[in-house]
Structure 1
């Protein structure tokens, strides 16, 4: 049975290094794992309980929830914006947290990775994302981490998939997430 991992990227920029990192995860996924890069976070409206009503959920938010519900695990890729998580990723987490107690992230294994220009590789944003996902009901894999500093220079001429060190580390993250999701799928 193939394990489905949904990849959400917290940057909307087409040349984003975090998007490239997600593309590398898709490429490096081992046999038995399907990493799907979600398109469409830019279309999801800001979470508002007034529009999150049965029969009236905006189509973009409903598609996001369906994609997450159909996945066995979620892999978040986050840059760091002003020392924290980007709004688009936080918004996705907010939509996936509802309905309260039964949202699409409930009991689902979630890992958070990323790259940023700073010397710490976006660890503050990753910590914030883990915190939000945990409160949203996801099973945060606290031991599955990857923070890549210096993204602007490190990936100036090299795609993350072609950086041997990054590719090996990312493949290990996907393998660990697969292990957690596979255990849950078999249960």
Structure 2
């Protein structure tokens, strides 16, 4: 199973819109997907689910992570890197079994012109430590506010071409 992770807990985020777009693309190609919106993390995550503790609320999320064989991370740029809530989520997951020797695909997005290149590289370092195998083709979508139409769909020809290419490679990865 593929789990798509919307890498922020910001309400009404472009990250979630892009995650839903990828989910639609994968579903249309016949793949089973789940969407994990980090807005759904327990509000008490820091108190209840770090350092060996586990709440019933987070256990449902942990079960989803444990059942997942491939992850697709949509990661926005926050202060030149990736969101702290994404790292906190990773830290709350059971180590090493949550991500060890599984596969992942990375998509960076930003309002600026670089598509979160630096944040994706930072996150790649975390993934290497976790033994989470990253697909070499990473996508960086810049100026995200201009990439989504009024229906929250990607529409620019070049972006669609590269997203489709990435999705096709991820399916066989």
Alignment TM class, shorter chain as reference: 0.7 to 0.9
User: Unaligned regions of 5+ residues in structure 2, if any?
Assistant: none
SS in 1 for 2:163: helix
Which shifted more, 7-16 or 114-123? 7-16
> 1:83–1:40: structure 2 CA closer, same or farther, 3 Å change rule?
closer
Within the candidate set 146, 150, 168, 1:175 is matched to 168
Within the candidate set 120, 139, 149, 2:114 is matched to 120
The whole-number CA distance in structure 2 between the counterparts of 1:151 and 1:78 is: 12
Q: How many residues align?
A: 168
Shift of 1:39: 3.5
Instruction: Determine if the alignment matches structure 1 residue 86 to structure 2 residue 83.
Output: yes
Q: Name segments (4+ residues, structure 1) moved above 4 Å.
A: none
Instruction: Determine if the alignment matches structure 1 residue 135 to structure 2 residue 116.
Output: no
Shift of 1:65: 1.8
Instruction: Determine if the alignment matches structure 1 residue 144 to structure 2 residue 141.
Output: no
The whole-number CA distance in structure 1 between the counterparts of 2:141 and 2:120 is: 11
Q: With structure 1 as the length reference, what TM-score do the two structures score?
A: 0.79
> 1:109–1:158: structure 2 CA closer, same or farther, 3 Å change rule?
same
> 1:63–1:172: structure 2 CA closer, same or farther, 3 Å change rule?
farther
Shift of 1:157: 4.2
Shift of 1:23: 0.6
- Whether the 8 Å CA contact 2:4–2:19 is kept in 1: the answer is yes
Q: With structure 2 as the length reference, what TM-score do the two structures score?
A: 0.85
- Whether the 8 Å CA contact 1:109–1:138 is kept in 2: the answer is yes
Shift of 1:17: 1.4
The whole-number CA distance in structure 1 between the counterparts of 2:170 and 2:92 is: 22
Shift of 1:139: 1.2
The whole-number CA distance in structure 2 between the counterparts of 1:163 and 1:123 is: 20
Within the candidate set 34, 37, 57, 2:35 is matched to 37
Instruction: Determine if the alignment matches structure 1 residue 15 to structure 2 residue 12.
Output: yes
The whole-number CA distance in structure 1 between the counterparts of 2:62 and 2:112 is: 32
The whole-number CA distance in structure 1 between the counterparts of 2:90 and 2:160 is: 26
- Between 1 and 2, higher relative CO (CA 8 Å, sep ≥ 6) is seen in 1
User: Unaligned regions of 5+ residues in structure 1, if any?
Assistant: 181-187
CA deviation string 1:7-47 (max 9, x = no partner): 11112233311111111111111433123211355424135
